[in-house]
């Protein structure tokens, strides 16, 4: 079937892509061979606004459609030069993959030190895409996303909470500065405090369609300080949940807080009807936590890079 | 292909009915000819779990399926003798609709003191298709009407200032459940003695619905921190539409514009989340007037009644 490519046009396309990602997730048996909807939301409402406001959506999102208007594939970066291909399995062909990669090379690379650079992500079992990338001069990059998962059909075991800490939901707006500060300390432990840019970004997190404050969990120390955080995104359409982010403030690390917060979140989403939980890790420390807290089962998505 | 009736079986059916209702809603151009998925959630988590309108879902919820397992229609009560019919337009035939109604008559109508049974069936005012069938089966359109309001959120939203002495904000944490529950009690049971109040545990079920978000559970707090008014909205991002499932104002705080202020705040929040349509259903004149003041489309749902022998 002949597919037609066009740039992202308007808000309506955004919501069509969400529906497309739901369909793809279900068609793929609840595996992350394309993005979960939550990741698109997080990228759009947070990443594109607060983290990497590097372009407009029409400039960097490309859609492939059937003659009757059904979405077959979507191409988008997450960060500049780091690109993801979302493909419905019913339409996955060598020709489509090549066309998408060509579009990536033409429109989504970045220039650094006078050279074009590009990173494309491929599932570790996706031989078709890997062969195409190899043939076009891509090589395996250094990053791999381990997509840990856990089916929620069994009881979630108890995990003791370290003495002096309480696991609870995030409070109202008055607690956003503290929540934001915990993120800063958890993800930027070696950066000077002067670089901290405030907490207003957190309002954009709360704008995401799947956000629920009762699934935005934290561990609070006895003095009220937020010591660890973990936000759960329950997608009632696919009955999956995605955990993003997970962090512990350095002074409170190695007390099992992240494990306790994740475990509480798993219990809550299990009660809501979630069937499967996902979390992504890129480094040995988080991977060890996730594999032991969720399960050793995971898919792996590898970066493939090209410079020219 | 004739769909075949079977009883609701398990939790998996709960989720399948949700998906079915979303499909039907979109198929009907996002009009509530069948229930919005938020109403199904509210039925399950509040009317069934809290109000116990029926003993078990398996006894009273019926599903009509095609041979290949596709849901064609669903029928459920909200009271022991009121049947709601949700039917996919692609499968809507007089035969199926009649079968569903007759099944409802046999399944869950109460027997009154005079030995007769009574069944209520809601029908859209302009739904001549169902009315013809109801008429043929001996029903008459004499029941209490419902007023179904909605508003598209693509135009500027009305301004409704917060009355002095009140703060509009999201619902708080667990420690605020008792106050929120008490506000519901005083709003919906103004003439009942306080001894009849049964506590606040029910509120956890409201929050267990898949579409619940605490930032769409909006309250107006008085200066003394009492919850004076509340508005709980379930937002379905899959259809970009929402339903106000619970709203009320505690008796001492009524007639001050709190209900309108909360609805307007809810619409502003919904708009920011990408919602494009909000629904609310009124069954009394006060609610009808409130929704009419902020929503621009009003449709009437009639209730048809039949009294019959067992």
- Tokens in use for A217? 């969990």
CB B117 within 8 A of CB B83: no
Do B162 and B86 lie in one domain? The reply is no
Do B90 and B52 lie in one domain? The reply is yes
| Interchain CB contact of B11 with A (< 8 Å) | yes
Q: C-alpha angle with apex B295: B291 to B296, nearest 5 degrees?
A: 130
pLDDT digits (tens, 9 = 90+) for A159-209: 999 999 999 999 888 899 999 999 999 999 999 999 999 999 999 999 899
Q: What is the 3-state secondary structure (H, E, C) of chain A?
A: CCCEEEECCCHHHHHHHHHHHHHHHHHCCCCCCCCCHHHHHHHHHHHHHHHCCCCCHHHHCEEEECCCCCEEEEEEEEECCEEEEEECHHHCCHHHHHHHHHHHHHHCCEEECCEEEEEEEEECCCHHHHHHHHHCCCEEEEEEEEEEEEECCCCCCCCCCCCCCEEEECCCHHHHHHHHHHHHHHHCCCCCHHHCCCCCHHHHHHHCCCCCHHHEEEEECCCCCEEEEEEEEEECCCCEEEEEEEEECHHHCCCCHHHHHHHHHHHHHHHHCCCEEEEEECCHHHHHHHHHHCCCCEEEEEEEEEEC
In terms of Cβ atoms closer than 10 Å to its own Cβ (0-12, 13-18, 19+), residue B203 is buried
- Tokens in use for B95? 């035969």
B164 Cβ contact list (under 8 Å, min separation 6): none
CB B72 within 8 A of CB B65: yes
Q: Do B210 and A236 touch (CB under 8 A)?
A: yes
Identical fold between A4-144+302-307 and A166-274: yes
Instruction: Using an 8 Å CB-CB cutoff, list chain B residues near A272.
Output: 208, 210
- Counting the structural domains of chain B, the total is 2
> Could you tell me the fold of the domain covering A166-274?
Aminopeptidase (3.40.630)
CB A99 within 8 A of CB A91: no
Give B249's strand partners. Answer: B229
Do B113 and B19 lie in one domain? The reply is yes
Instruction: Using an 8 Å CB-CB cutoff, list chain A residues near B237.
Output: 18, 209-210
- Residue B290 within any structural domain of the chain: no
**For A15, which of B214, B215, B274 is closest by C-beta distance?**
B274
- Tokens in use for B170? 């999201």
- Residue B241 within any structural domain of the chain: yes
ipTM higher than the 0.90 cut: no
pLDDT digits (tens, 9 = 90+) for A99-152: 999 999 999 999 999 999 999 999 999 999 999 999 999 999 999 999 999 999
pLDDT of residue B109: 63
**For A209, which of B207, B208, B237 is closest by C-beta distance?**
B237
pLDDT in tens, chain B (310 residues): 799 999 999 999 999 999 999 999 999 999 999 999 999 999 999 999 998 888 899 999 999 999 999 999 999 998 888 999 999 999 999 999 999 999 999 987 678 888 889 999 999 999 999 999 999 999 998 889 999 999 999 999 988 999 999 999 998 888 888 999 999 999 999 889 989 998 899 998 999 899 999 899 999 999 988 999 999 999 999 999 999 999 999 988 999 999 999 999 999 999 999 999 999 999 999 999 999 999 999 999 999 999 998 7
CB A240 within 8 A of CB A30: yes
**For B208, which of A207, A211, A271 is closest by C-beta distance?**
A271
Name the helix (H) or strand (E) containing B302. strand B297-309
CATH class of the domain at A4-144+302-307: alpha beta
Mutate to test the interface with B, among A213, A217, A241 (most CBs of B within 10 A): A213
Instruction: Using an 8 Å CB-CB cutoff, list chain B residues near A268.
Output: none
pLDDT digits (tens, 9 = 90+) for A212-239: 989 999 999 999 999 999 999 999 999 9
H helical segments located in chain B: 11-27, 37-42, 57-60, 94-107, 128-136, 177-188, 203-208, 258-273, 285-294
pLDDT digits (tens, 9 = 90+) for A242-270: 999 999 999 999 999 999 999 999 999 99
Backbone angles phi, psi at B268, to 5 degrees: -60, -45
- Residue B36 within any structural domain of the chain: yes
Q: How far is B210 from chain A (nearest CA, A)?
A: 6
Do B164 and B270 lie in one domain? The reply is yes
Do B55 and B92 lie in one domain? The reply is yes
With a cut of 90, say whether residue A49 has pLDDT above it: no
Count CA atoms within 13 Å of residue B140 on its CB side.
4
- Residue B133 within any structural domain of the chain: yes
Q: Do A236 and B18 touch (CB under 8 A)?
A: yes
- Residue B285 within any structural domain of the chain: no
pTM of the model: 0.89
pLDDT of residue B1: 76
Chain A residue with minimum CA distance to B235: A209
In terms of Cβ atoms closer than 10 Å to its own Cβ (0-12, 13-18, 19+), residue B194 is exposed
- Residue B18 within any structural domain of the chain: yes
Backbone angles phi, psi at B79, to 5 degrees: -120, 170
Instruction: Using an 8 Å CB-CB cutoff, list chain A residues near B273.
Output: 207-209
| Interchain CB contact of B306 with A (< 8 Å) | no
Q: Do B172 and A172 touch (CB under 8 A)?
A: yes
| Interchain CB contact of B180 with A (< 8 Å) | no
Do B57 and B185 lie in one domain? The reply is no
- Tokens in use for B293? 């003041």
Do B53 and B178 lie in one domain? The reply is no
Closest by Cα among B182, B190, B191, B174 to B222 = B182
Q: Do B211 and A236 touch (CB under 8 A)?
A: yes
Domain ranges across chain A: 4-144+302-307, 166-274
Q: Containing domain of residue B76, as a range?
A: 4-143+303-309
- Residue B283 within any structural domain of the chain: no
Q: How many whole angstroms separate alpha carbon A191 and alpha carbon A224?
A: 23
Q: What is the mean pLDDT of residues A25-29?
A: 98
**For B173, which of A171, A237, A271 is closest by C-beta distance?**
A171
Do B83 and B177 lie in one domain? The reply is no
Q: What is the dihedral of CA A256, A258, A263, A264, to 10 degrees?
A: 110
Burial letters A219-250, b for 16+ CB under 10 A, else e: bbbeeebbbbbbbbbbbbbbbbbbbbebbbbe
Do B23 and B134 lie in one domain? The reply is yes
Q: How many whole angstroms separate alpha carbon B85 and alpha carbon B184?
A: 28
Closest by Cα among A163, A136, A273 to B210 = A273
Do B246 and B270 lie in one domain? The reply is yes
**CATH code at position B240:** 3.40.630.30
């Amino acid at each position: 079937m002949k597919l037609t490519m066009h740039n992202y046009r308007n808000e309506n396309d955004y919501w069509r892509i969400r529906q497309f990602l739901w369909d793809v997730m279900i068609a793929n048996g609840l595996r992350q061979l394309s993005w979960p909807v939550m990741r698109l939301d997080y990228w759009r409402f947070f990443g594109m606004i607060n983290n990497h406001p590097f372009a407009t959506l029409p400039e960097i999102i490309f859609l492939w459609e059937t003659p009757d208007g059904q979405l077959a594939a979507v191409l988008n970066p997450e960060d500049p030069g780091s690109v993801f291909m979302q493909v419905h399995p019913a339409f996955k062909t060598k020709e489509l993959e090549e066309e998408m990669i060509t579009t990536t090379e033409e429109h989504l690379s970045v220039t650094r030190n006078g050279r074009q650079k590009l990173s494309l992500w491929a599932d570790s079992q996706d031989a078709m895409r890997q062969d195409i990338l190899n043939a076009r001069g891509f090589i395996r990059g250094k990053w791999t996303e381990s997509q840990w998962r856990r089916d929620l059909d069994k009881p979630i075991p108890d995990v003791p909470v370290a003495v002096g800490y309480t696991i609870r939901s995030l409070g109202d707006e008055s607690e956003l500065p503290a929540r934001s500060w915990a993120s800063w300390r958890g993800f930027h432990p070696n950066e000077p405090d002067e670089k901290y840019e405030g907490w207003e970004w957190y309002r954009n997190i709360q704008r995401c369609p799947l956000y629920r404050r009762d699934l935005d969990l934290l561990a609070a120390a006895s003095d009220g300080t937020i010591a660890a955080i973990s936000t759960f995104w329950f997608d009632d359409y696919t009955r999956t949940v995605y955990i993003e982010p997970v962090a512990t403030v350095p002074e409170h690390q190695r007390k099992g807080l992240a494990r306790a917060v994740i475990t509480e979140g798993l219990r809550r989403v299990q009660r809501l009807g979630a069937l499967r939980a996902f979390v992504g890790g890129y480094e040995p420390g988080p991977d060890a936590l996730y594999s032991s807290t969720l399960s050793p089962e995971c898919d792996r998505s590898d970066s493939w890079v090209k410079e020219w | 292909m004739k769909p075949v009736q079977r009883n609701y079986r398990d939790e998996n059916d709960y989720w399948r009915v949700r998906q079915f209702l979303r499909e039907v809603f979109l198929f009907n151009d996002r009009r509530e000819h069948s229930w919005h998925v938020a109403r199904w959630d509210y039925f399950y988590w509040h009317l069934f779990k809290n109000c116990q309108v029926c003993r078990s879902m398996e006894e009273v919820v019926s599903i009509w399926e095609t041979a290949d397992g596709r849901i064609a229609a669903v029928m459920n009560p909200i009271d022991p003798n009121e049947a709601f019919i949700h039917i996919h337009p692609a499968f809507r035939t007089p035969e199926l609709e009649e079968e569903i109604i007759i099944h409802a008559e046999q399944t869950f109508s109460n027997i009154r003191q005079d030995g007769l049974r009574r069944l209520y069936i809601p029908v859209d005012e302009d739904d001549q298709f169902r009315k013809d069938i109801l008429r043929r089966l001996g029903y008459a359109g004499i029941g209490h009407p419902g007023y179904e309001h909605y508003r598209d959120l693509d135009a500027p939203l009305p301004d409704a200032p917060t009355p002095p002495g009140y703060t509009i904000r999201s619902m708080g944490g667990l420690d605020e459940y008792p106050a929120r529950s008490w506000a519901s009690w005083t709003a919906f049971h103004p003439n009942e003695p306080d001894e009849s109040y049964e506590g606040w545990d029910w509120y956890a079920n409201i929050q267990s619905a898949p579409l619940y978000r605490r930032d769409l559970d909006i309250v107006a707090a008085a200066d003394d921190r009492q919850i004076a008014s509340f508005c709980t909205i379930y937002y379905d991002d899959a259809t970009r539409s929402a339903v106000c499932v619970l709203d009320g104002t505690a008796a001492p705080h009524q007639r001050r514009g709190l209900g309108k202020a909360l609805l307007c705040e809810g619409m502003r929040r919904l708009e920011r989340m990408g919602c494009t349509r909000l629904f609310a259903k009124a069954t009394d004149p006060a609610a009808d007037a409130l929704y009419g003041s902020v929503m621009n489309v009003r449709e009437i749902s009639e209730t048809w009644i039949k009294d019959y022998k067992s």
